[in-house]
Amino acid sequence: MQERPPRTYRDGARAVAALAVAVAGFGVSFGLLARSAGMGWLAPIVMSSTTFAGSAQFAAVSILGTGGTVAAAVAAAVLLNARYWPIGVSVAPWLEGPAWSRFLRAQLVVDESWAVSAEGDGRFDPRILVGAGLTLYVAWVIGTAVGSLGGEILGDPNALGLDAAFPALFLALVLPQIRSRRALVAAVVGGAIALALTPLTPAGVPIIAASAACLVGVRHS
Amino acid sequence: MSTTWLVVAAVGVATVAIKATGPVLLGGRSLPARLAGIVDLLAPALLSALVVTQALADGRAIVLDARLVGVAAAGIALWRKAPILLVIVVAAAATAVTRLLV
């Protein structure tokens, strides 16, 4: 058996160093877009500090910005974050120690930190997870603050084409998710449901209804 | 409390709770395979719905405008394996330029 040197928090930070730059860029976009959605400068920073989940934050803010209800915004965020339930279960055996420590470290789980800490065979390295998660968290919060506070100077985000950053971002997030035929079917059906319901229902509802597309998994599993 | 802060608080509490569930409560147990197979598909379905609505919806109307040019440019950038940050810059720039020209 090959001996591997024990991996450290710093190895986790190093594993996502380049990604952290992109995440900070996401944070800047989130700060700008949240501001343009009428959230003010402080709420986006507080949200990124307390809710460390980019796509759910973007979804909630974009629904609010297009006149959706609080319930629709929260429900969409919850549905987008539902994947953190099975993801959390997958890392649970490798997060040891007292409950408060597991609780705190669980907050550092995002798609990217989870992905780099995977060792295959369902094993996860908790130090890599924490080192990567902390690095991405700091990048996310600082990026948000820069976007939120710099928004004043930059002016109208739509003139800068930032409204197109939303669909571009979600496109960039959905493509790596499509690793199987089932995922492709879910994505196509979800998009079709959302498009069909847009003229018929209040903003936000089409996105929540699209979650029904995951039921294609029932027949295939 | 304003709508904004209500959403910030509710999304924050919900996200913290969802993330904590597995590591705090479930210990070493894993999801039944059937359920895991369904939950796995939530992300592609919801993200795809977000792409469609953010690119085409304006309130309840479906509108074809400069955003589509940006999304197409993003698609090309992703196909060329561009990093995500560049993809977003390309989408915004293509949309902004389209608005300047049209």
Per-residue pLDDT of A32-45, as tens digits, reads 889 888 898 999 99
Q: State mean pLDDT over A175-183.
A: 86
pLDDT tens figures, A59-94: 899 888 888 899 999 998 998 888 788 788 888 888
pLDDT-derived band of residue A219, with 50, 70 and 90 as boundaries? low
Q: Which of B31, B47, B98 sits opposite A177 (nearest CB)?
A: B47
Separation CA A47–CA B15 (nearest Å): 11
Mean of the per-residue pLDDT values of chain B: 88
Question: Are B46 and A76 an interchain contact pair (Cβ–Cβ within 8 Å)?
Answer: yes
Per-domain boundaries in chain A: 9-177, 178-221
Which residue does chain B place closest to A46, by CA atoms? Answer: B8
What is the ipTM score, two decimals? 0.84
Which has more pLDDT, B29 or A26? A26
Cβ distance B96 to B67 under 8 Å?
Answer: no
Given a cut of 70, whether residue A154 has pLDDT beyond it is no
Given a cut of 50, whether residue A1 has pLDDT beyond it is no
Per-residue tokens: A43: 């709420």
Separation CA A128–CA B42 (nearest Å): 26
Cβ distance B35 to A100 under 8 Å?
Answer: no
Given a cut of 90, whether residue A49 has pLDDT beyond it is yes
DSSP state for residue B24 in the 8-state scheme: I
Which of A39-43, A155-159, A174-178, B72-76 is predicted most confidently?
B72-76
Per-residue tokens: B61: 């109307």
Which residue does chain B place closest to A22, by CA atoms? Answer: B85
Torsional class of B81: left (φ above 0), alpha (ψ -120 to 50), beta (otherwise): left
* Cβ-Cβ contacts under 8 Å, B24 against chain A: 99, 102-103, 106
Which amino acid, A55? Answer: S
Q: Where are the alpha helices (DSSP H) in chain A?
A: 9-15, 17-36, 42-50, 54-65, 70-81, 84-91, 99-106, 111-117, 126-154, 165-174, 181-197, 205-209, 216-220
Given a cut of 90, whether residue A162 has pLDDT beyond it is no
What is the distance in angstroms between the Cα of A183 and the nearest Cα belonging to chain B?
6
**Helices A126-154 and A42-50, packing angle to 10 deg:** 170
Torsional class of A128: left (φ above 0), alpha (ψ -120 to 50), beta (otherwise): alpha
Which residue does chain B place closest to A27, by CA atoms? Answer: B85
